[in-house]
Amino acid sequence: MLTLLSENRSFGGAHRRYSHTSSVLACQMNFAVYLPPQALAGTPVPVLYWLSGLTCTDENFMQKAGAQRMAAELGIAIVCPDTSPRGEGVPGDPDGAWDFGLGAGFYLNASETPWATHYRMHDYVVAELPALIEAHLPVTQKRGISGHSMGGHGALVCALRNPGRYQSVSAFAPICHPQACPWGEKAFSRYLGPDRGQWAEWDACVLLATNREQLPILVDQGGADSFLHTQLMPDQLQRAASAVDYPLTLREQAGYDHSYYFIASFIDEHLQHHARALLA
């Protein structure tokens, strides 16, 4: 069951925020959705799922990316889930750090105590939330997925682990090789435990090597991103894709950083990338 929290008209469509009880995450969750005018007029539309990065909620992308105008023109809905479980009883980082716990679910299924009870963002994003959206809103079962930073990692992993589930995938400045960077090592060691064999199951560079679907990937990376070499490692993704002839388009945008100014500059091209598959 969905509870409507707010609604704002935008480019002939509607931006809405909903709340619902998640059985997968064992807590109350909020998400945002932009329904284009075609959906409000009664025509079901495909959905692009957007996964945000560290410290974000369902609101950042909708307020900062400027995606609604192109989504309205194309006739694509956008769904933005939160970045982690929330609420009383949901554990966060014991030291109050921003790069783990609340706001930093990493879109995986945790196996370690105390995280395993709530931190199952992969199953939430891939299965529970789409089922809810498709049951209650005017959308089709055509799905694309995209995201930024930690959410870019999530988008790649969701698509690579679930062949046939999505028709399109893209990412902005994704954490490409999380098992080899500080953010990923911190998160994986706590959520998944010390066995690096389990870490590999959530690493896009590893998953590319055995993926059979060959779903074309578009990645944009800012050349002036302060996290480029230490955390994001797009060169590792390019190397992994080249090794198996995977269809990856990796673009380095000179002078752009890690911010939503970067995302807003290229979001229209990503929406058009998704539209070619979702509207075919």
* Residues identified as active-site: 149, 225, 258
Nearest to 246 by CA among 184, 159, 150: 159
Token readout for 242 is 């080249």
CA–CA separation, 22 and 14 (whole Å): 24
Strand extents, DSSP E, the chain? 3-10, 13-22, 27-35, 45-51, 77-81, 139-147, 168-172, 217-222, 248-253
Token readout for 43 is 């025509």
Q: What's the full length of the chain, in residues? A: 280
Q: Is 35 exposed, middle or buried (0-12, 13-18, 19+ CB in 10 A)?
A: buried
Put residue 146 in one of left, alpha, beta given phi > 0 → left and psi -120 to 50 → alpha.
beta
CA distances 120 to 49, 107, 112, 126, 234, Å, are 17, 7, 11, 10, 26
Residue bearing tokens 């999380």: 178
List all residues 6 or more positions away from 258 whose beta carbon is below 8 Å from its beta carbon: 149, 173, 222, 225, 226, 227
